């Protein structure tokens, strides 16, 4: 009876074997880790953009809501955001991190194709882009803001006629 009380629950050999087995399993999964120099903080995203020359924001919002309603049926969506302005509309779909973005892009394009007959002919065909293409290609070094005691239309005209052409003359600015 004394011999049974002195016996350990697990031998040191069995503990070492278990830890070695766990180590080998961990090493097998190392290639599956997502390691990047600059990891993305954003969720995978698809943007559906369209334009309609001189259409009011109210009319654009009606078409945007049609697109939102159809695209809301797609699985794995974390959020849907839309923007409607004069002559322009955008629907942004944010997915969870595990999504296959190419598959979702195909689903979106299929739904847009089905919806196209219910959209006005004057409206451009909706364009589908991803946030991955945009983020990796674009890095802002400097942002310029113009302020004045004038209308935004006047500021825009001055910027397009005087400020932007002057900046574009400088090498390396786009």
For the ranges 8-12, 88-92, 132-136, 147-151, the lowest mean pLDDT is seen at 132-136
Rounded Cα distance between 126 and 86, Å, is 16
Burial class from Cβ neighbours inside 10 Å (0-12, 13-18, 19+) for residue 55 reads buried
**Strands annotated E in 42-150:** 45-51, 77-85, 88-95, 127-130
Residue 113 Cα distances to 106, 125, 137, 142, angstroms: 11, 9, 28, 39
- Closest Cα partner for 127 from 54, 67, 59, 61? 67
The tokens for 66 are 């049609």
Model pTM score: 0.54
Contact 64, 82 (CB under 8 A): yes
The total of other beta-carbon atoms located within 10 Å of residue 100's CB is 11
Predicted pLDDT of residue 20: 95
Tell me: pLDDT of 2 over 60.
Answer: no
What CA–CA distances, in Å, run from 143 to 139, 140, 146, 173? 11, 7, 10, 12
Q: How far apart are CA 1 and CA 143, in angstroms?
A: 81
Read off the tokens for 25: 């399993």
Confidence of residue 135 (pLDDT cuts 50, 70, 90): very low
Q: For the segment 14-66, what is each residue's pLDDT rounded down to a tens digit?
A: 899 999 999 999 999 888 876 666 665 677 889 999 998 888 888 999 999 99
**Any idea which residue has 């009380």 for tokens?**
5
């Amino acid at each position: 009876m004394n011999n049974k009380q002195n016996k350990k629950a697990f031998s040191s050999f069995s503990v070492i074997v278990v830890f070695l087995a766990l180590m080998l399993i961990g090493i097998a999964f190392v290639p599956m880790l997502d390691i990047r120099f600059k990891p993305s903080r954003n969720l995978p995203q698809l943007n559906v953009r369209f334009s309609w020359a001189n259409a009011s924001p109210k009319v654009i919002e009606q078409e945007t809501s049609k697109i939102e309603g159809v695209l809301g049926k797609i699985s794995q969506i974390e959020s849907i955001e839309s923007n409607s302005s004069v002559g322009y509309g955008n629907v942004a779909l944010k997915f969870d991190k595990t999504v296959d973005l190419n598959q979702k892009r195909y689903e979106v394009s299929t739904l847009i194709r089905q919806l196209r007959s219910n959209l006005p002919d004057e409206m451009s065909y909706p364009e589908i882009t991803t946030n991955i293409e945009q983020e990796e290609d674009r890095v802002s070094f400097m942002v310029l803001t113009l302020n004045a005691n004038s209308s935004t239309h006047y500021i825009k005209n001055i910027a397009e006629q005087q400020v932007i052409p002057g900046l574009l003359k400088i090498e390396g600015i786009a």
